[in-house]
Structure 1
């Protein structure tokens, strides 16, 4: 369980006030909010990349800082080093997260064979997004935070992603996926979280 207790987040402006929630395994949560309202800031705060004003984050009863191998977050393709290859990233994440996922099968599944060994500077946005999804899969983390991960995907790969997310949920993963379009997430979410005006409202999907 990912537990968030009395969390308030404020950067240049207030993002979230006194939020309490427990994210459970075997569930998909859709984080829905307009652009600029704080979705990414919320994810960064969970991952301890920025401080919250106050509050507590725990995974399975322990401080999240001691449990980071149970959670995976890769904010966007902008984080990639363009001089490295996709294979470099897949091998690195597999090692650091201690995963047993078969990289070769994953590369074939996402049709990355033709470019996975090339420097990322040669990738299109769609190629980068498929690699980004691959990092989540290869991490095999119990908890996953996906920030606007459908960006740059064509319809076929978007449908494939949603099918993968359902499979991950059925394998006892917890996934939070953000979007500014409610319609994007309705088909896969168990709960919807609406972030606006410093408040997070949770509803059954």
Structure 2
């Protein structure tokens, strides 16, 4: 189901600096799939980049659709800046505060990229300078061309620019980096950081875990319809030992200490070993010339442990 685009004809006084999304006990099932969302409660504040991570088909886009009111939960509620989707007037008022990454079928092939940006600027009556935005995102060589001539990467950059052009306090980005090369991933990432620093709440669905590792302030893992992990990326986290998977040495450890073995690398939970055992094991690694690192879990590690262990 595509995101709803609301045509805003009048805009009340610009929103206050504090914007928050609140989800309380949200549940949603489909006829062929029960508990796609299962008792989801969240408080999301302004000036955050929030990553939403899960395997494909497990509720990420559904959650964004609930936030946008394209899907109504069976139970619970959504609040945007203290407002609920209770009437058409409230829906319009809320959608002045929020913009979602357009779907491919929401682009008009016969229009230029520039016309799409102007459309979004006018819909939300924002003050964004389109020419400046085009230059920042390096879109000048094709922004005047019809969108039906665009490559996937060009479309993705345009869709991101459309969200930025709205200048809403809350921005929902569903796989905004899909189809982009590393240079453009870095370009979009830099702009997302600037949006956050300017006070925006940016919620982004992404499978680029290394990118989220450096970009997000908070990462949510959605599993079986629930928030399985809520990671504050600025908090100090425990260290783990990552080593080449040497079976002869791993066999000496308690089974609970070996969290994961993946692509020839083993992940060891140091909390399962006392200080003396840790020192002894590291010395044995060094004596056998086995490479190792001691560091916190990466998002890729967290993903495997959450969804594939």
Map of 1:9 onto structure 2: 28
Q: Which SS does the other structure have where 2:22 is aligned?
A: strand
TM-score for the superposition, normalised by structure 1: 0.94
Q: CA RMSD in A?
A: 1.4
Shift of 1:78: 3.9
Alpha-carbon distance in structure 2 between the residues aligned to 1:57 and 1:42: 11
Aligned runs of 1:1-205 on 2, under 5 Å? Answer: 1-11=20-30, 12-13=32-33, 14-64=35-85, 65=91, 66-201=93-228, 202-205=230-233
Unaligned runs of 5+ in 2: 1-19, 86-90, 234-309
Q: Which moved more, 1:97-106 or 1:177-186?
A: 177-186
Higher relative contact order (CA 8 A, sep 6+): 1
Alpha-carbon distance in structure 1 between the residues aligned to 2:74 and 2:102: 21
Larger radius of gyration: 2
Alpha-carbon distance in structure 2 between the residues aligned to 1:132 and 1:45: 20
Whether the aligned pair in 2 keeps the contact of 1:8 and 1:54 (CA below 8 Å) is: yes
Deviations 1:91-111 (A, max 9, x none): 111011111000011112222
> Which stretches of structure 1, 4 residues or more, deviate above 2 A after TM superposition?
74-79, 180-184
Unaligned runs of 5+ in 1: none
Shift of 1:76: 3.0
